[in-house]
Structure 1
Amino acid sequence: MTLRLYDTATRDERDFAPLTPGRVGIYLCGPTVQGSPHVGHLRAAVAFDVLQRWLERSGYQVTLVRNVTDIDDKTLVKAAEAGDDWWAWALRHEREFQAAYAAVGVKPPAAEPRATGHIPEIVALIARLVENGHAYEQDGSVYFDVRSFAEYGALTRQALDALSPATDSPSEVKRDPHDFALWKARKDEEPATASWDSPWGPGRPGWHIECSAMSQRYLGDEFDIHGGGLDLRFPHHENEQAQSRAAGYGFARLWMHSAWVTQSGAKMSKSLGNGLLVSEVLAAHEPAALRLALAAVHYRSMLEYTPSTLDEASAQWARFQGFVARASEKVGAPSLEDVASAPLPEAFVEAMDDDLAVSRALAVIHETVRAGNAALTAGDDAAVAAALMSARAMLGVLGLDPAAPEWAAEKAGASDAAMSALDFLVQADIAARAAARAAKDWGTADAIRDRLAGAGIVIADAADGARWSLASEG
């Protein structure tokens, strides 16, 4: 069966054929590092990690680029409210995201470019759009002229006049309310460090232009797959496609979007107060269980997060771990190299080739584990060895092989790597609590302490600073 992937642009499944045989280029919209990561932020990262692993298992060489938006309006505002430098604020949260990705076994991208590290490429792309008649300068800012590009709205199939005005800049300063900012002139109240020189004066890039510039820099004028969360389809991805193609680039050949994590039907987000911080979840559950919960539901389906979500995933993970441990003790553990090249069951391959139908793939894994456990009971070592190899090979495709290094070195119910990641995430909350206490904002300080306590993390204050421990450690 040929790998088929759902293309958001055409709204149907297509046979996947890369631009260059044997090689796949993927651009994934990464985090805007304005705050700490919550579970919803990890959904796309895990989904596209599974895609990358399946492509590599299918014989492709994959180059995945995941950007970091380290400057935008919200980052500047939140850093200022915290009395912090915007760049320090952004870097601290960027590291939190990296720790969260690592904790759930997401492979590092081939490149992880920051917006602020690619100002020359951004300026050059904006200049190209101005020269081509698709952008214009107004009072030191530059805007994309949506009416100059006939295909605007094609990605999301929306008529221009039916769209709401772009909210990234005031409508009265633009030719058309739908025009969006490519370059934002520096404001007097913004720090000087948050602006760069350009042909139009000091300023900083708009949100959308960075991804067009960085995808072209690392993947070329045209590349195979552009991915991200479903909430990015409009306006972010629509605007990316418009500006890139208006500049003369083929840009993305196929679009993939992962659905949200929801609670009570609402998208998980900090603004709604329903964002489960990764630090809180990892304090109570194994990282592999969180990864399993995020991967088990088809990437295009909403994942409704309930109190039982992680409990159910933890039970599944325990079954996988238990079988691999018992079978390995009985017949010996195959090497990682042998597991990586072991044949995969046809039903598993068919499921993964069908737009990454992970739930069906997991059903094959569960059946294999059941057969392996039955073989253990019957004393059939040959069948045990076959089931062990097959189960680990399939779980490895999902990034969930219990014997893989990221999961194998468990200590007190959590791997050393996971504990290190958890420490990094919790330290951010401790720093925020210390800042609140210094500002005599006792309500915020107590709320942070209580939230951590609810996640099983105990904070102990001392003369040289606060320390944390898991409640089960005493």
Structure 2
Amino acid sequence: MDIFLTNSRSRTKERFTPLDPANVRVYVCGPTVYDRAHLGNARPAIVFDVLSRLLRHVYGAEHVTYVRNFTDVDDKINARAAETGRDIAEITEETIGWYLDDMAAVGVAEPDHMPRATRYIAQMVVMIADLIAKGHAYEAEGHVLFAVESYADYGALSGRSLEDMIAGARVEVAPYKRNPMDFVLWKPSAAGLPGWDSPWGRGRPGWHIECSAMAQDLLGASFDIHGGGNDLMFPHHENEIAQSCCAHPEGSFAKVWLHNEMLQVEGRKMSKSLGNFFTVRDLLDQGIPGEVIRFVMLSTHYRKPMDWTAEKAEVAEKKLRRWRRLAKGVNPGAALHDVLAPLADDLNTSLVLDRLDSLARAIEMNQTDPTKARFAPSIEDFVATANLLGLLLPGTHDWSMQGFDLSGLAARLAEIRATAMETKDFSEVDRLKAALVAAGVEVRMSKAGVELVPGAGFDASALEGLE
């Protein structure tokens, strides 16, 4: 299966040809760990999890190396420690645990490597010293800065003009900079802040150098794919390219660059001031299953802005309840090539979901009325194809009954039954009972009352409007 990806650097869709098919290498920028992952943080995690699953499907699980980092040294973390009085290491350790739990809840598998910036300080110091030696960086007032003018291709990724880049760099203008676009590789640390000894004094790394050092150490001077949100394209990814290519001119750094678009909530930018800011944990605690969150995320192409709405979550939940009813107790077969074709075409997950839902309806029709049989794959192959999107995974918790309370329907049936005992008209009892049975609910009626028990084929969506 050929894979086509839209390379942000060339701005074209290209056939993906790995540098080494036996060792396909991917690096994705991970979170800065000072607080719960918000909904927007989940989008790149899910997008590149799907990419990883596709690459493993095509090239073999043992031939793909996927790296996603944790930024655990940052001014935001320092500010959170000062605000709470808590130890920095305690905050980062707790937040990493939260992130992994929340991403697991939305079906994101852990990458092969999850390096932490604080464990790669030595590699960063070596890279910075090398950049100084090669004339690409300079020391000034305890800082080390990358000299942007020393790299002729600076700006090629983002396509920004010199004026645009200078405007974007003005917030970092300092008297010790030779050029306002020069960016920090190393900065001094005051007492009470994290710091490490270096040739330039006690200090800590700038943000950009960490990814270059970790990618070089784990994937080499050249690797296949670098991913992240499009908000990172400038300056973060632009700066990564500059420092990496200057430090290791024998390599090309990342061959393909992939960027996902940003997320909105109900048509508006997510913001605490607008009251539409959600963490992943907020939604999980509201009873929205992680698989539903994943489905909604995948229903929009990764290069388009994604709008989270309550309506989309409701639609996703209904579809997944039906799919889970079909998949219950089924072992995955072989993924369907025709259904997966859009996934290999620049990760068109929304089209794959549409095709899967059409197949689910065909399977359901064949089960309910064989006389109207139409083409449908085996349930096993349907499940295997959904698995490649990180859905209906074997061994995952079946949430399809989660939060669904049958007590209201039980009370209503008991009330109708009591009336029927007096009028001798059991038509309404029979109608409601038939609807419950059709939805996979076992109806137990006795002198003691009415008990409703979800069965193996329980489909909560079929009960809508019965109460």
- Normalised to the residue count of structure 2, the TM-score between the two structures is 0.81
The reply to whether residue 37 of structure 1 matches residue 37 of structure 2 is yes
Deviations 1:322-358 (A, max 9, x none): 2223xx5xxxx33x4xx2xx15142x23211210111
Matching of residues 44-193 of structure 1 within 5 Å: 44-60=44-60, 61-163=63-165, 164-166=167-169, 169-188=172-191, 191-192=192-193
Quote the Cα distance in structure 2 between the aligned partners of 1:273 and 1:140: 42
How much is the aligned-residue C-alpha RMSD, in angstroms?
A: 2.3
- Offset, 1:86: 1.8
- Tell me the equivalent position of 2:457: none
Q: Which amino acid is 2:150 matched to?
A: S
Deviations 1:113-137 (A, max 9, x none): 0100100000001011101101000
| 2:395 counterpart (373, 388, 405) | 405
Retained in 2: the 8 A contact 1:369–1:387? no
Retained in 1: the 8 A contact 2:296–2:308? no
Secondary structure of residue in 2 paired with 1:33:
coil
Higher relative contact order (CA 8 A, sep 6+): 1
- Tell me the equivalent position of 1:215: 215
Secondary structure of residue in 1 paired with 2:169:
coil
- Tell me the equivalent position of 2:305: 302
Deviations 1:288-340 (A, max 9, x none): 11111111211111111222231121112112112223xx5xxxx33x4xx2x
Retained in 1: the 8 A contact 2:223–2:255? yes
- Offset, 1:413: 4.7
- Offset, 1:230: 1.2
- Tell me the equivalent position of 2:418: none
Quote the Cα distance in structure 1 between the aligned partners of 2:114 and 2:161: 34
Secondary structure of residue in 2 paired with 1:364:
helix
- Tell me the equivalent position of 1:457: none
Quote the Cα distance in structure 2 between the aligned partners of 1:212 and 1:389: 43
Secondary structure of residue in 1 paired with 2:378:
helix
Matching of residues 329-340 of structure 1 within 5 Å: 333-334=330-331, 336=332, 339=333
| 1:394 counterpart (380, 385, 388) | 385
The reply to whether residue 354 of structure 1 matches residue 337 of structure 2 is no
Q: Which amino acid is 2:72 matched to?
A: D
Secondary structure of residue in 1 paired with 2:128:
helix
- Tell me the equivalent position of 2:320: 317
Q: Which amino acid is 1:118 matched to?
A: Y
Structure 1: 5+ residue runs without aligned partners?
415-474
Deviations 1:174-207 (A, max 9, x none): 111111100011134xx15x00000000000000
- Tell me the equivalent position of 1:275: 277
- Offset, 1:48: 0.5
Matching of residues 364-379 of structure 1 within 5 Å: 364-379=355-370
Deviations 1:54-73 (A, max 9, x none): 11112342111000001111
Change (3 A) 1:264 1:367: closer
Retained in 2: the 8 A contact 1:288–1:407? no
Q: Which amino acid is 1:178 matched to?
A: M
- Offset, 1:23: 2.8
Larger-Rg structure: 2
Deviations 1:159-184 (A, max 9, x none): 22332253674422211111110001
Quote the Cα distance in structure 2 between the aligned partners of 1:75 and 1:107: 25
Quote the Cα distance in structure 2 between the aligned partners of 1:93 and 1:287: 19
Q: Which amino acid is 1:389 matched to?
A: E
- Tell me the equivalent position of 2:419: none
Quote the Cα distance in structure 2 between the aligned partners of 1:391 and 1:298: 21
- Offset, 1:237: 0.5
- Offset, 1:387: 3.0
- Tell me the equivalent position of 1:363: 354
Aligned pair count reads 398
- Offset, 1:381: 13
Deviations 1:64-113 (A, max 9, x none): 10000011111111221111122211221111111111111111110100
- Offset, 1:394: 1.3
Deviations 1:15-51 (A, max 9, x none): 0000102431000100001211111110000000111
Quote the Cα distance in structure 1 between the aligned partners of 2:396 and 2:156: 42
Q: Which amino acid is 1:378 matched to?
A: D
- Offset, 1:395: 0.4
- Offset, 1:265: 4.4
Quote the Cα distance in structure 2 between the aligned partners of 1:123 and 1:412: 50
Change (3 A) 1:272 1:155: farther
Structure 2: 5+ residue runs without aligned partners?
405-467
Change (3 A) 1:168 1:109: farther
Change (3 A) 1:287 1:380: farther
Quote the Cα distance in structure 2 between the aligned partners of 1:409 and 1:317: 10
Change (3 A) 1:86 1:391: same
- Tell me the equivalent position of 1:344: 336
Retained in 1: the 8 A contact 2:21–2:59? no
Quote the Cα distance in structure 1 between the aligned partners of 2:288 and 2:183: 42
Change (3 A) 1:411 1:318: closer
